[in-house]
Amino acid sequence: MWPRLLSLCLAAAPALAGAPPEILKLEGDISPIHDPAIIRQGGTYRVFASNRFAEKLVPMFCSGERRKWTLCGNVFDAVPDWALQEVPGARGIWAPDISFFEGRYHLYYSVSTFGKNRSVIGLATNRTLDPMSPDYRWVDEGKVVGSTAEDDWKHVLPGQGQHLQDHGRAGGEDHGPLYR
């Protein structure tokens, strides 16, 4: 199911620019990819995902034509220490959301555990998405917002990260928009 979802996501990118949508046949490093977020820098598309791929967290897959994908980097080797202190028992990073503003790429991500309300949304930034550039370096900026065990809601969807920072909102699990 996820390859079709990813294909639809990738097909939507040119549709937003006015070209008709196209379902793409994908090849290469395409499985598994969960919660994909796509962005283009120059002539290269990059997809970030929730899953662990090649023992790395938040893998980055690259393609020039959106058909053949290769693993070309990752954001984290492990869950950040600050996030493990905030969310004991967390084993991964979920639902990355990538955007570019103020001269940097901003990747918002969620750290959570199943069945508990304690979770955080963090932010990692980079000047470039090109792993061959001397400027390529992910900087974990830490916690943006979070929920505690006492809250009756949970922060898990960091989508629209700039809006989150500007207005203190994020998607919640089963509870719609959240406000801090």
Q: Is 69 helix (H, G, I), strand (E, B) or coil?
A: strand
Closest CA to 95 of 54, 49, 163: 49
Q: What is the CA radius of gyration of the chain?
A: 16
User: What digits encode the pLDDT tens for the residues 93-141?
Assistant: 989 999 999 999 999 999 988 777 788 899 999 999 999 999 999 999 9
pLDDT at 178: 44
How big is the chain, counted in residues? Answer: 180
* All domains in the chain, ordered by first residue: 31-168 (2.115.10.20)
